[in-house]
Structure 1
Amino acid sequence: MSVETETLIQQADEAIIDTFDLFFLLTAGVLAVLYLYKDTLFGNNKKVVASQQSISNNQTLKPIVSPPKKNKNFLKRMKETDKNVILFYGSQTGTAEDYASRLAKEGQQRFGLNTMTVDIEDCDMTLLDKFPNDYLAFFLMATYGEGEPTDDAVDFWELINSESPEFSEGMSIEEKPLSSLRYVVFALGNKTYEHFNAVGRMVDNKLTEFGATRIGERGEGDDDGSLEEDFLGWKENMWKAVCEVMQVDQSKVETGGHIATYKITELETYDSNKVYYGEYSEHALMINGTRPTYDAKNPYPSPIVDSRDLFSPSLTDRNCVHMELDITGSGIYYETGDHVAVWPVNAEQNVERLLKILGLWEKRDTVVTVESTDPSASKKYPFPVPTTYATIFRHYLDIHALTSRQFIATLANYAPTEAGKSKLTTLGQDKEAYRIEVSDAYLTLSEVLESISPNGKPLDSIPLDLIIETLPKLQPRYYSISSSSKSTPTKIHITATVLTFNPTSAPHKTVYGLATNYLLQVHRKMRNIHHPEILPNYLYSGPRNKLYDEKNNTIKLPIHVRRNNFKLPKNLKTPVIMIGPGTGVAPFRGFVIERTLYKTQGEEVGDTILFFGCRRRDEDFLYESEFTKLFETLGESGKLITAFSREMANKVYVQHKLMENDSHIWNLIYNHGGYFYVCGDAKNMARDVNNALIQIAQSLGGMDENSATNYVKDLRSKGRYQEDVWS
């Protein structure tokens, strides 16, 4: 081969290599562009679904404008606004948030502290290791369910329980990461649960473990007892300890007058399309074509496709409502055992009553804004604004709640007469007088104000911002879903007993449960059932008349789904024992439906045992005919065991039936790895069932009391003993 030929070949090879390099670089560049702009070019699954829906509905798809990300650097915010005390809260129902706000205001007004209140989920808690030693942090932590953190505290919970907390990274082993943190803690829970105040206690222990210093004693509130009294009794000594470490001269502390937390402005001009009439987020105000996400901050208006009263109206004056909600196309999904949250509204009688005693009835439709007077506040608005006075009391504040003793003491300053002031002062200071006249009579705010109003005249001297600041926010009510996601994935079933009672010190007064009576009246309206008794009535049409279709007489309920760890075992062959008297049977209806579905599909299903209890078979046996058919399908592997407490001279409950079947139950649990579930009343039933199982472990397992107790606790820790209970 000539030199010239070799040279030509070499040049050709180099050209091929250059071309390949160029092709490789171009390909890599295109792939990089495609990756960087994949969402814009292709869209994610949700965007594709939304586009298809919009096209099918002949709608123009509007672009989503993402809300600005929250600044989670709480230390930076504190420094910028000259704050030295921060109050973190983890709250499920709003109580911990309410207490945090009350402490923040008290710390500012009484002791001159510069306070700010924040939801713990809105903060980067890995910054705790940089907390200045002249600052102070409060932690107001509620416990939800079986020792679980509230939804907004999950990230913080995982952080402090991790083996190598993020906030300890980069620090020497000799130095504890939170040595500069000084903190106060108040735990909120319910003693009827086994893991009473588990979250608050764990937070306290972990912070101390990482070197932080607690100021004062840990506060603990019992929601089943007297949470408000626990809180009031704790905070006075707590403030003394705080004043000492924050160098507040208590001898110079002045209570001062009322300092407005919110500024209320009546609007003369406004965009009617941007006024909130009960909507919970700006997504609900958007025009068709947007793609909202439905969750706890933006509930889905779910159509009610079926409803019925499960009790026999001819045999009892009690009611239990079964409702079926359609979630088709909402993007919401649920799993069997989850909870559904229903967003209720206050009864119109109560809305009118409070508006009138406050002198706002004639201005009920006036459009207003309510804005925090503190520019550093984590929540600029207490609820969506602009809105109206009537909407505030109908949708955003819980005017149905019992009036707290501390609030009554504050209201004494605005009583129109000396007699009224004296009365409220006594009720605010005397715990026994408060219990008898307010708590036992279940007095709401409107009733307390009416009791001191001369001749029923409006009390327009009471600052409205004080009402807004003090009344709890109206929160959703949670129900165990009574359907199976495997059987009806686009329908959620609710089973709710309607609450009504006569207070001990006011027997002629009837108190109506807020959410359950709302469900009952919705059911009656859809079924055109007219009841002779004067009952609460509601604005069924909802904001902008979007919830009620008068032509078809159908109503929608605002809902969202909350995940729950109350779940069937993954192995279908695993035996399950379910204890669910009354509406405690709700999730087990879903469990049994699901196990039966698998059985009809040819799957091998383990023993399915349900203990159900109620008063009488012919009065309140929930889903009797349905359960009969389901257990017939399950065959020998299924068993329904009932206890009717009022059909015999000696009352029989589910725990008694459990003991009668002790050998079979023990065999399923001990020898076959069975799962044990309890749902319903936590205060009595769940405790009695737990004790019954301990007795079975003693008698059939040959254990002493201590070993049997530890065995049952071990079942809980392994997830084989699960509870979904309430007080």
Structure 2
Amino acid sequence: MPCEVASRFVVLYGSQRGQAQAIAEEIGEQAAQRGLEADLSCLSEKEKYDLEKETAPVVFVVSTTGDGEPPDTAVPFVRRIKKKTLPRERFARLCYALLALGDTNYANFCNCGKTIDKRLQELGGKRFYATGHADDAVGLELVVDSWIEGLWDAVRKALSEMAAAGPAVGSQQDNSAVILQETAEPSGLGLKLRHLNLSEPDAEASEQPILRSGKEKDVPGNAAVDASLTKSLPPLSESSLKVPALPPPYLSVCLGDEVNSVPPLKENQHEVQISRAVPLTRHDSVKAALLIELDVSDKDLPLQPGGVFDVLCPNNGSEVEELLQRLKLGQQRDHCVLLELLKDTRKKGAQLPAHIPEESTLQYVITWCLELRSVPKKALLRSLVECTTSGFEKRRLQELCSTQGSADYNRFIRDPNICLLDLLRAFPSCTPPLSLLIEHLPKLQSRSYSAASSKLRHPGRLHFVFNIVESPACPERPVARRGLCTGWLADLVAPVLQPYGGGPAPAESSGDAALPKIYISLRPPGTFHLPADPALPLIMVGPGTGVAPFIGFLQHREKEREQMPGATFGESWLFFGCRHKDRDFLFREDLEKFVVNGTLTHLKVCFSRDNSEGPGSSPKYVHHSLQLHSKEIISLLLEQNGCFYVCGDAKNMAKDVNEALIELFRTELQVDKLEAMKKIATLREEKRYLQDIWS
């Protein structure tokens, strides 16, 4: 008599900003549509799962944050499985699959997922499906969609084999549903997945009828020119479409009475006053940089130079107003938002969104809780189809969320970074309800900044630096806009901004009443800080605003040298870069003073737009400057145990610096590239190659 095959499997996720959680929830919803039962939990909820005793297949979905670190929710789990005292067969019964999320703009691509995968293997775990590595630099969905599509055959096969073998035995399958392709990545070799011949009917998708207009029949020859966010061309416009299943609604949203209260601050959040704002660049520089000083004299903030804190920023006021008017809820902005779960929802594990406080007004929810600027996911596009009355607009939304329309989705939505309001402007017949937006829009995330000052130099003050991000208009987004947080901060400090080059602020004479306030929260202490031993040398690489934490480092070192005149201090090197010497040389006077008083041993500055090309010209970028000092850098790092810090842009600069360092090790030590990479990996493991980078 054949054994009964169970339908239950486990899904565990570790998420920092909600992407891994959303993908895990999507797996749970698709499982239910296929007659499977996904037992969904966060890795932080250790009381809900026991991998040592688990008899069902387990699917992990994990992201990576910072410099290859696990997300906060996965840190305890990673620590537990990395204990060296665990027996080698700890997870001998575990049958698992893993989807790792990462970004190849960063050196340690998918590091958390790779760490978990490797450790589970070392402890006896067996894969039933090939590990996926999804890259946010090119679009997570390129791997995620295919990986999930191939998962179902693999889960069923694992369930069948585990049922046949009995509860004590795990199984590893041949992964026939996927092809593994090796692809070169900055951090080594990785795997990408391409879906093949899944014969089972796809319960998550449906074939949509072709909708055409008379205009679309007369198509000019140049499709690349004429396709747009709102218009497709053959073959897509004439194709049958495979679109995702409609996400099940799960919230009932009502507007109650008017309220005038504001939700209280959380324990780790602080209201602080902006005591000073200073422009660091000339008016004609390519990017405008500002320094903001916060008055934290009444706060006990254990923040070291280079430490990271978050600024809580609201959505843009005009965008909030536009959305309220589009929803026809402008007159009810001060009414309380009341949320309940739909009693008959089909959503697996539905919960009320934790980021929306009780007793919040509609204005507060849209302003402070929902990320209006987030790029719409395909699930949101699929839901918007049902709220659209125009047949042509409905068809185009179907195309953009379909498998066949993936290229258009990337070209017209993901790459230009359009948001919900851009979509609503482009598709005027689309009128979504408030409940749909609360279900699909992610939590409004705070923005992270590095401390650019030392408490020894500026007691009771906290400095941070940023460029005002400018996004020009484009065909998909005809309205130019500033970065959400940087644009808001620039507007906030405009009345009190000091003139470039010094002088009093316009509102300084009016007293503290004119000074604005913001909300900040501290993040857990990281590793990007000065070494405990001041005798260790420092090599700091920070072009542009990447120099900010190093200003804090040098302020701290300067005061320590004054307070400990007999102590030994290691050399300090700063490799700084900007475009023009006379426009955007940030902190020029401070850096020159640090050199004069001996705090900064070597200052190497590159000006990328001032230099002439050809032999004898100065280095253009910081990685060029590093190569000119290869012998000194090798000595500082390998003979004197120095620390190498990099701060700034992850997409280009950090990669170029890493490649330059590899080449530097290769040539100076006369070793091959692999050996050079191993030595740099050792620096990372010893926390002597540290990065604070962003994309």
Whether the TM-score (by the shorter chain) exceeds 0.5 is yes
- TM normalised by structure 2 equals 0.78
**CA distance in 1: counterparts of 2:621 and 2:112, whole angstroms:** 32
**Alignment partner of 2:586: what SS?**
coil
Which amino acid counterpart does residue 454 of structure 2 have in structure 1?
Answer: S
- Any conservation in 2 of the 1:575–1:673 contact (CA below 8 Å)? yes
Aligned-residue offset at 1:512? 2.0
2:541 to 576, 579, 601: 579
Out of 653, 656, 676, the residue aligned to residue 624 of structure 2 is 656
Instruction: Note the C-alpha offset of 1:408.
Output: 1.6
What are the Cα deviations for residues 439-462 of structure 1, in whole angstroms up to 9, with x where unaligned? 3443211221232224xxxx44x3
Which string of whole-angstrom CA distances, capped at 9 and with x for unpartnered residues, describes residues 207-228 of structure 1?
3443444443322221222123
TM-score, normalised relative to structure 1 = 0.75
1:553 counterpart residue number: 515
Q: 1:619 to 1:187 in 2, by over 3 A?
A: same
Q: Secondary structure at the match of 2:100?
A: strand
Given the alignment of the two structures, is residue 448 of structure 1 paired with residue 423 of structure 2, yes or no? Answer: yes
Deviation at 1:625, TM superposition (A): 1.0
- Considering fraction of residues, name the structure with more helix: 1
Amino acid in structure 1 at the alignment position of 2:74 = A
- Matched residue, 1:402: 375
Counterparts of 2:365 and 2:127, CA distance in 1: 38
1:149 and 2:70 correspond: yes
CA distance change for structure 1 residues 155 and 556 in 2, over 3 Å: closer, same or farther? same
Report the secondary structure of 2:147's partner residue: helix
1:720 to 685, 688, 692: 688
CA contact (8 A) 1:333 1:490 kept: no
SS in 1 for 2:464: strand
* 1:498 Cα deviation after fit: 1.4
User: What residue in structure 1 maps to residue 593 of structure 2?
Assistant: 629
Distance 1:441 1:193 in 2: 21
Gaps of 5+ in 1: 1-81, 285-291, 530-548
Within 5 A, what are the aligned runs for 1:444-483?
444-454=419-429, 459-460=430-431, 462-483=432-453
**Alignment of 1:189 onto 2:151:** no
Deviations 1:393-413 (A, max 9, x none): 211110111222343233223
Matched, 1:293 2:257: no
What residue identity is the alignment partner of 1:656?
Answer: H
SS of the equivalent of 1:121 reads coil
1:593 partnered with 2:555: yes
Match of 1:564 in 2: 526
Aligned runs of 1:524-543 on 2, under 5 Å? 524-527=494-497
Alignment gaps of 5+ in structure 2: 1-5, 161-198, 206-244, 500-510, 614-618
1:522 positional shift: 1.5
How far apart are 1:114 and its partner, in Å? 4.2
Matched, 1:120 2:95: no
The residue type equivalent to 2:401 in the other structure is G
Query: Which amino acid in structure 1 is aligned with residue 99 of structure 2?
Result: F
Report the more deviating stretch, 697-706 or 439-448. 697-706
User: Shift of the alpha carbon at 1:180?
Assistant: 4.5
1:440–1:503 Cα contact (<8 Å) kept: no
- SS of the residue corresponding to residue 143 of structure 1 reads coil
The Cα of 1:470 is off from its aligned counterpart by 1.7
Does the alignment pair 1:671 with 2:639? yes
Residues 116 and 482 of structure 1: is their aligned pair in 2 closer, same or farther, counting only changes over 3 Å?
Answer: farther
Would you say the 8 A contact 2:577–2:606 is kept in 1? Answer: yes
Q: Give 1:370 shift.
A: 2.0
Looking at structure 2, the residues matched to 450 and 421 of structure 1 have their Cα atoms a distance apart, in angstroms, of 14
Change (3 A) 1:472 1:228: farther
Please show how residues 66-105 of structure 1 align to structure 2 within 5 Å.
Answer: 84-105=8-29
Structure 2 CA distance for aligned equivalents of residues 311 and 368 of structure 1: 44
Q: Using the alignment, how far apart are the partners of 1:681 and 1:426 within structure 2?
A: 34
Cα 1:301/1:309, change in 2 over 3 Å: same
1:499 aligns with 2:472: no
Secondary structure of 1:87 counterpart: strand
CA deviation string 1:215-266 (max 9, x = no partner): 433222212221233322322112333355568x966957776532222233
1:609 Cα deviation (Å)? Answer: 0.9
SS in 1 for 2:690: strand
**Per-residue deviation at 1:649?**
2.5
Q: What displacement does 1:490 show?
A: 3.5
Give deviations 1:446-491, integer Å, cap 9, x for gaps: 221232224xxxx44x343332222111111112221124434543
Task: Please give the alpha-carbon distance, in whole angstroms, between the structure 1 residues aligned to 2:159 and 2:437.
Answer: 30
Note if contact 1:598-1:605 (Cα within 8 Å) is conserved in structure 2: no
**1:220 aligns to 2:188 (yes or no):** no
Q: Could you list the per-position Cα deviations for residues 106-135 of structure 1 after superposition, in whole angstroms to 9, with x for gaps in the alignment? A: 333x2244445443223337733233x24x
Query: Per-residue displacement from partner, 1:391-438 (whole Å, max 9, x unpaired)?
Result: 222111101112223432332233212111111112222122223332
Spell out, residue by residue over 1:142-186, the C-alpha distance to the aligned partner (whole angstroms, 9 max, x if none). Answer: 111222111221111100111234xx7xxxx8xx44344444422
Aligned to 1:354: 323
Query: Among residues 250, 274, 279, which one is paired with 1:261 in the alignment?
Result: 250
- Distance in 2 (CA, whole Å) between partners of 1:482 and 1:231 is 38
1:342–1:560 Cα contact (<8 Å) kept: no
Who is 1:544 aligned against? none
1:540 alignment partner in structure 2? none
Alpha-carbon deviations, 1:6-37, whole Å to 9, x = none? Answer: xxxxxxxxxxxxxxxxxxxxxxxxxxxxxxxx
In the other structure, the counterpart of 2:144 is 231
Report Cα offsets for 1:525-564 as digits up to 9, x if no partner: 44499xxxxxxxxxxxxxxxxxxx9943332233323321
- Partner residue in 1 for 2:213: none
Q: Distance in 2 between matches of 1:463 and 1:158?
A: 43
Q: Are 2:264 and 1:341 aligned?
A: no
Distance verdict in 2 for CA 1:431–1:450, change over 3 Å: same
Letter in 2 for 1:161: K
- Looking at structure 1, the residues matched to 498 and 454 of structure 2 have their Cα atoms a distance apart, in angstroms, of 29
- After superposition, give the CA deviation of every residue in 1:184-203 in whole Å (9 maximum; x if it has no partner): 42211111222211111222
Which residue, 608, 622, 638 being the options, matches 1:645? 608
Preserved CA contact (<8 Å) 1:95 1:472: no
Q: Partner of 1:198 in structure 2?
A: 111
Distance 1:496 1:239 in 2: 46
Deviation by residue 1:337-377 (Cα, 9 ceiling, x = unmatched): 21111111100111122222233333322212223447994
Please state if 1:107 is matched with 2:31: yes
User: After the TM superposition, which residues 303-452 of structure 1 pair with which residues of structure 2 at under 5 Å, given as runs?
Assistant: 303-313=273-283, 315-316=284-285, 318-373=287-342, 377=349, 379-382=351-354, 383-429=356-402, 430-452=405-427
In 2: Cα distance, 1:195 partner to 1:466 partner: 36
Cα distance change on mapping 1:116 and 1:502 into 2, 3 Å? farther
Please state how far the C-alpha of 1:695 moved relative to its aligned partner.
2.9
Quote the Cα distance in structure 2 between the aligned partners of 1:680 and 1:379: 38
Q: What CA deviation, in whole Å up to 9, does each residue of 1:628-652 have, x standing for no partner? A: 21222226x6121100100013371
Contact 1:94–1:475 at 8 Å: present in 2 too?
no
The answer to whether the 8 A contact 2:30-2:204 is kept is no
- Show the counterpart of 2:651: 683
Aligned to 1:42: none
User: 2-side partners of 1:209 and 1:713: how far apart?
Assistant: 21
What secondary structure does 1:316 align onto? coil
For 2:529 and 2:97, the matched residues in 1 are separated by: 36
CA contact (8 A) 2:450 2:548 kept: yes
Q: Give the secondary-structure state (helix, strand or coil) at the position aligned to 2:340.
A: strand
Give me the whole-angstrom Cα distance separating, in 1, the residues matched to 2:538 and 2:247: 58
CA pair 484-438 structure 1, distance change in 2 beyond 3 A:
same
Q: 1:504 to 1:252 in 2, by over 3 A?
A: closer
Task: Output the amino acid matched with 1:422.
Answer: R
